[in-house]
Amino acid sequence: MTNISRRAIIASGIAGASALGASFLFAVNRLSGSGRDIADVFTTPLPMPPLIDGRDIGNVVTLEATAGTTKFQQGAASRTFGYSGSYLGPALRLHRGDTVTMTVANKLDRQTTVHSHGLLTPSDLDGGPHNAIEPGDVWQPFLTIDQPVATLWYHPHPHGDTARQVYHGLAGLLYVEDSSAQSLGLPTSYGVDDIPLILQDREFSAEGLLSYDNSPAAIQHGSRDNTILVNGAMAPRSEVPAGVVRLRLLNGANARNFRLVFADRRPMHVIANDNGFIAAPAAVSEITIAPGERYELLVDFSDGKLIPLLTYPDTSDSPEASLTPVLLFAPNGPMNSANQYIPKQLADAEFPAVAAAVRRRSFVLDGMAAANDTLTKGASAAGPPTDNGAMPGMDHSQMAAAGGTGLSGLDMGMKMGINGAPFDMARIDAEMKIGETEIWELRSTEMAHPFHIHGASFRILSLDGAPPPEHVAGAKDTVLVRSSAEILVTFKHKTEAGKPFVFHCHILEHEDAGMMAQYVTS
Name the minimum Å distance from CB 127 to Cu ion: 8
Q: What span, in angstroms and rounded, lies between the C-alpha atoms of 284 and 261?
A: 9
Number of residues that bind ligand C2O (CB under 6 A): 10
Q: By C-beta, is 17 or 170 nearer to Cu ion? A: 170
Binding partner of 505, given Cu ion, ligand C2O, none, CB within 5-8 angstroms per partner class:
Cu ion
If one asks whether residue 159 binds ligand C2O (CB under 6 A), the answer comes out as: no
Name the minimum Å distance from CB 62 to Cu ion: 22
Q: Which of 231, 508, 510, 521 binds Cu ion (CB under 5 A)?
A: 510
Site for ligand C2O in 60-119 (CB under 6 A): 115, 117
**Contact region with Cu ion (CB under 5 A), list: 30-38, 180-188, 432-440, 500-508:** 500-508
Name the minimum Å distance from CB 128 to ligand C2O: 6
Q: Which residues contact 310 (CB under 8 A, 6 or more apart)?
A: 14, 28, 260, 261, 262, 263, 323, 324, 325, 326
Binding partner of 510, given Cu ion, ligand C2O, none, CB within 5-8 angstroms per partner class:
Cu ion
Site for ligand C2O in 486-515 (CB under 6 A): 502, 504, 506
How big is the CA angle at 166 (ends 258 and 492), to the nearest 5 degrees? 85
How big is the CA angle at 376 (ends 370 and 381), to the nearest 5 degrees? 80
Binding partner of 507, given ligand C2O, Cu ion, none, CB within 5-8 angstroms per partner class:
Cu ion
Site for ligand C2O in 290-319 (CB under 6 A): 292
If one asks whether residue 117 binds Cu ion (CB under 5 A), the answer comes out as: yes
- Which value, to the nearest 10 degrees, does the dihedral of the CA atoms of residues 217, 519, 146, 253 take? 0
Q: Provide the 8-state DSSP code for 468.
A: P
Name the minimum Å distance from CB 425 to Cu ion: 16
Q: Provide the 8-state DSSP code for 132.
A: -
Task: Confirm if 296 and 513 have CB atoms less than 8 A apart.
Answer: no
Name the minimum Å distance from CB 209 to Cu ion: 27
Q: Tell me which amino acid residue 28 is.
A: V
Q: Which of 174, 507, 508, 516 binds Cu ion (CB under 5 A)?
A: 507
Nearest residue to the partner ligand C2O, using Cβ: 117
Q: What span, in angstroms and rounded, lies between the C-alpha atoms of 144 and 96?
A: 8
Site string for ligand C2O, 443-462 (x = CB under 6 A): ---------x-x--------
Q: What span, in angstroms and rounded, lies between the C-alpha atoms of 438 and 426?
A: 24
Number of Cβ within 10 Å of residue 357's Cβ equals: 17
Name the minimum Å distance from CB 453 to Cu ion: 8
Q: What span, in angstroms and rounded, lies between the C-alpha atoms of 239 and 332?
A: 6
Name the minimum Å distance from CB 117 to Cu ion: 4
Sign, CA dihedral 120-447-231-75, equals negative
Name the minimum Å distance from CB 504 to ligand C2O: 6
Q: Tell me which amino acid residue 247 is.
A: L
Q: By C-beta, is 203 or 477 nearer to Cu ion? A: 477
Name the minimum Å distance from CB 246 to ligand C2O: 22
Q: By C-beta, is 292 or 389 nearer to ligand C2O? A: 292
Q: What span, in angstroms and rounded, lies between the C-alpha atoms of 503 and 492?
A: 15
Q: By C-beta, is 171 or 391 nearer to ligand C2O? A: 171
Site string for Cu ion, 429-468 (x = CB under 5 A): --------------------x----x--------------
Q: What span, in angstroms and rounded, lies between the C-alpha atoms of 24 and 516?
A: 41
Q: Which residues contact 316 (CB under 8 A, 6 or more apart)?
A: 385, 386, 387, 388, 448, 482
Task: Confirm if 384 and 521 have CB atoms less than 8 A apart.
Answer: no
In angstroms, how far is CA 348 from the centroid of its own chain?
25
- The H or E element spanning position 24 is helix 23-28
Q: Tell me which amino acid residue 391 is.
A: M
Site string for ligand C2O, 352-391 (x = CB under 6 A): ----------------------------------------
Q: Which of 155, 224, 246, 499 binds ligand C2O (CB under 6 A)?
A: 155
Q: By C-beta, is 415 or 506 nearer to ligand C2O? A: 506
Q: Which of 157, 248, 449, 476 binds ligand C2O (CB under 6 A)?
A: 157
CA-wise closest residue to 484 among 449, 513, 511, 438? 449
- Helices H, strands E: what count in the chain? 8, 36
CA-wise closest residue to 430 among 369, 461, 114, 438? 438
Name the minimum Å distance from CB 183 to Cu ion: 29
Name the minimum Å distance from CB 337 to ligand C2O: 32
Instruction: Note the residues at the interface with ligand C2O (CB under 6 A).
Output: 115, 117, 155, 157, 292, 452, 454, 502, 504, 506
Instruction: Note the residues at the interface with Cu ion (CB under 5 A).
Output: 117, 449, 454, 505, 507, 510
